[in-house]
Structure 1
Amino acid sequence: MAVLLLVRHGHSTANADAVLAGWSDGVGLTDRGRGEVERLADRLADLEVVRVVSSPLQRCRETAELLLPSLGAVGVDVADDLGECHYGAWTGRRIAELTREPLWRTVQDDPASARFPDSETYAAESLREMSDRMVAAVTRLDAEVEAEHGADAVWVVVSHGDPIKAVVADAMGAGLPGLQRVHVDPASVSVVRRARDRGLVLAVNSSGDGLADRLRALSAAAKRADVPDADSTVGGGTG
């Protein structure tokens, strides 16, 4: 079956502020994020990629456009159902504040029952709804790629932390209960291959950084956002 590269957008202005961006407007890549994506493009340059599909949000579209010259794909398709989780009233709030909300523990310990609070400004959904739409979108697009380009085709999705985690957890067979056991950094790539009714995980959170540097960066980012030990940052790590 076709090989899917799941790329998380590069470091964003919301990551820099340790804010849960969600579907906020105007969240683009930082200079650091553009550098990360350029390095990722170099790592992927030897691959023959047949299709690139992006979330509609700015930070993902910027990431996809920076990758495109190295990938040799014709262009970037945009699919709304690859977008970020709809966090409702949590949108735009600082991660450090959210860790003190009762819902935070539900998100960590029982993600299958977690639904984000409604808002007059932003749509809200449950983690299950997010996971179902993301997995369905990837399954549909994967079938299209294989039908057009064959079973060995390589294609790319550019999306967000929680949606990518959902696809990886599904491919591992862990499903939604395993969502918070997966970590994906900005500008990382995870690789899955779907075969019949199951998935195979080939790589997770590959960034190309040295391991010692990556572990120090993860620790610093968690402290900056005030995320409790062993918890997973909602929206994905801030990098």
Structure 2
Amino acid sequence: MPSFADIILIRHGESEANAAGRFACRSWDPALTATGRAQAQQLAHQWHNAPIRYLVTSPLLRAQETLAPLAQDHDLTPVILPDLAEVNLGQWDGKRLRDLEEAESPSFIAWRQDPDRNPPPGGESIRAVGQRVLNALAHFVEPRERHTLTIAATHADCIKGAVMLIMNAEGPMARRLVVPNAGHVVLRWYETGVWTMVFADPRVPS
């Protein structure tokens, strides 16, 4: 079997922005709520016996706080990867989702239909986000030992974008992907440079 590395992409726990229904990217770096902190503790319990070699995280506070209990449990220091940061929402950063929905602006409606062809004004497309995430992860795993397990804390659109690229899916398919707070997906990177999705790896507890 060729060498590979498994990466569990985890969305951060519930943040203050999630609870407030607001977008948060560059202008606001909210912490986890009490619910989010409980989710982080649950993740540490869930992955207590996992053979984790590396922890990597978005530089944003909510992602780092999500990994903190797991890092303490495994005595590991997370590596901060800037390219795991939240999607750049441009002019919508910090705004309430409800306000954008009620305004019914053409740009927002188009983004909801296809976030790849219609990124936020001044922001990123969903597949561009996925590409930077996969590039960052590939750069991280390439020089590492074979058959390793890495857990990465990131954001919903980062996970959606990565999955869409692996599945060669078009922009509208992003609306059929749901990534709850503390939800995760397992990606496998092969030494050939191929990414795959793993639904039931016996090495990884669910």
TM-score (norm 1): 0.74
Cα offsets for 1:163-200 (capped at 9, x unmatched):
01111222233254533322111111111112335332
Between the two structures, name the one with larger relative contact order (CA 8 Å, sep ≥ 6). Answer: 2
The amino acid across from 2:107 in the alignment is: L
Q: Does 1:129 pair with 2:132?
A: no
Instruction: Using the TM superposition, name which of 109-118 and 55-64 deviates more.
Output: 109-118
Measure, in 2, the Cα distance between the counterparts of 1:157 and 1:175. 24
Q: 1:73 to 1:168 in 2, by over 3 A?
A: farther
Whether the aligned pair in 2 keeps the contact of 1:27 and 1:59 (CA below 8 Å) is yes
Q: Does 1:171 align with 2:175?
A: no
CA distance in 1, matches of 2:185, 2:126: 20
Aligned length: 195
Q: Runs in 1 of length 4+ with deviation above 6 angstroms?
A: none
- Whole-Å Cα distance in 2 between the matches of residues 102 and 176 of structure 1? 17
Once residues 52 and 133 of structure 2 are traced to their aligned partners in structure 1, the CA distance between those partners, rounded to angstroms, is 21
- Aligned ranges 1:110-149 → 2 under 5 Å: 110-118=114-122, 124-144=123-143, 148-149=144-145
Identity %: 28
From 105, 108, 122, the counterpart of 1:104: 108
Separation (CA, whole Å) in 2 of partners of 1:90 and 1:161:
16
Give, in angstroms, the shift of residue 58 of structure 1.
Answer: 0.8
Q: Indicate the residue corresponding to 2:188 in structure 1.
A: 193
TM-score, normalized by length of structure 2?
0.85
Contact 1:161-1:185 within 8 A present in 2 as well: yes
- Whole-angstrom distance in 2 between the partners of 1:30 and 1:188: 16
The answer as to whether partners of 1:168 and 1:182 remain within 8 angstroms in 2 is: no
Q: Deviation digits for residues 74-101 of structure 1, max 9, x if unmatched?
A: 3111011110111111011111122323
* Alignment gaps of 5+ in structure 1: 119-123, 209-239
